[in-house]
Structure 1
Amino acid sequence: MKQSFIYFLLFLCLFTSAVAQKKSAVKRPQNLTDEQLLDLVQKQTFKYFWDFGHPVSGMARERSNTSFDYGNEVVTTGGTGFGVMAIIVAAERGWITREQASERVLKIVNFLWKADMFHGVFPHWLNGETGKVIRFSPKDDGGDLVETSFLFQGLLCAKQYFTNNNNTENQLRNKIQWLWDGIEWNWHTKDNQNVLYWHWSPNNGWSMNHQIRGFNECLITYVLAASSPRYSISPQVYHQGWANSNHFRNDREFYDIKLPLGFDYGGPLFFSHYSFLGLDPRGLKDNYADYWEQNRNHTLINRAYCIDNPKQYKGYGPNSWGLTASDSYRGYAAHSPTEDLGVITPTAALSAFPYTPEYSMQALKHFYNNLGDKIWGEYGFVDAFSEHHNWYANSYLAIDQGPIIVMIENYRTGLLWKLFMSNKDVQNGLRKLNFKSDKIPAEAAK
Structure 2
Amino acid sequence: MLDSLQRAAFDYFVRHANRDTGLVADTSRPGSHASIAVVGFALSAYPVGVERGWMTRAEALQRSLAALRFFRNSDQSGTPDSTGYRGCYFHFLHLDSGTRAWRCEVSLIDTALLLAGMLTAAAYFTAATADEAELRELADTLYRRVDWCWAQRESAAVVHGWKPESGFLKYGWEGYSEAILLYILGLGSPTHPLIAASFPAWTGTYEWENLYGIDFLYAGPLFIHQFPHAWIDFRNIRDDFMREKRCDYFENSRRAIDVQRAYAIRNPRGFVGYGEDGWGLSAGDGPRAPRQRIAGRRQSFYGYAARGVPYGPDDGTLSGPSVLASLVFAPEIALPAIRRLLARGVATDDRAARAGGFNDTVHGGWVSAGNFGLDQGLIVLMIENFRSGLLWRLLRGSAPIRTGLHRAGFRGGWLAEALVITPATARSARSSVRTADPTDQGVTVGSAVRTVRGRPER
| Shorter-chain TM-score above 0.5 | yes
Aligned to 1:146: 109
Aligned to 1:87: 46
Matches of 2:315 and 2:280, distance apart in 1: 12
Tell whether 2:97 aligns with 1:124: no
| Bigger helix share | 1
Structure 2 counterpart of 1:124, one-letter code: H
| CA distance 1:51–1:214, change in 2 (3 Å) | same
Structure 1 counterpart of 2:357, one-letter code: A
Deviations 1:298-353 (A, max 9, x none): 11101211122111111112222211010010210111122111011101111011
Aligned to 2:183: 222
Count of residues in Structure 1 that have an aligned counterpart in Structure 2: 388
2:265 to 295, 303, 307: 307
Aligned to 1:439: 414
TM-score, normalisation: structure 1: 0.83
Instruction: Determine if contact 1:117/1:123 at 8 Å carries over to the other structure.
Output: yes
Matches of 2:68 and 2:6, distance apart in 1: 24
Instruction: Determine if contact 2:324/2:353 at 8 Å carries over to the other structure.
Output: no
| CA distance 1:373–1:93, change in 2 (3 Å) | closer
Tell whether 2:388 aligns with 1:413: yes
Matches of 1:372 and 1:282, distance apart in 2: 37
Instruction: Determine if contact 1:367/1:375 at 8 Å carries over to the other structure.
Output: no
Structure 1 counterpart of 2:223, one-letter code: F
Matches of 1:213 and 1:442, distance apart in 2: 31
What's the CA shift for 1:193?
4.5
Instruction: Determine if contact 2:286/2:358 at 8 Å carries over to the other structure.
Output: yes
SS in structure 2 opposite 1:112?
helix
Tell whether 2:11 aligns with 1:47: yes
CA-atom RMSD in angstroms: 1.9
Aligned to 2:341: 367
Instruction: Determine if contact 1:284/1:292 at 8 Å carries over to the other structure.
Output: no
Uncovered stretches (5+) of structure 1, i.e. residues with no partner: 1-36
Uncovered stretches (5+) of structure 2, i.e. residues with no partner: 75-82, 243-247, 289-302, 420-458
Structure 2 counterpart of 1:345, one-letter code: S
Aligned to 1:7: none
Tell whether 2:201 aligns with 1:201: no
Instruction: Determine if contact 2:338/2:353 at 8 Å carries over to the other structure.
Output: no
What's the CA shift for 1:442?
6.3
Aligned to 1:169: 132
Structure 2 counterpart of 1:303, one-letter code: R
Identity fraction in percent: 28
Tell whether 2:253 aligns with 1:295: yes
Instruction: Determine if contact 2:317/2:357 at 8 Å carries over to the other structure.
Output: yes
1:255 to 212, 215, 221: 212
Matches of 1:112 and 1:176, distance apart in 2: 10
| CA distance 1:136–1:201, change in 2 (3 Å) | closer
Structure 1 counterpart of 2:62, one-letter code: E
What's the CA shift for 1:372?
4.9
Please list every run of at least 4 consecutive aligned residues from structure 1 whose deviation after the TM superposition is greater than 4 angstroms: 372-375
Matches of 2:368 and 2:177, distance apart in 1: 26
Aligned to 2:293: none
What's the CA shift for 1:163?
0.3
Aligned to 1:268: 221
Aligned to 2:427: none
What's the CA shift for 1:64?
1.3
SS in structure 2 opposite 1:417?
helix
Matches of 1:110 and 1:225, distance apart in 2: 22
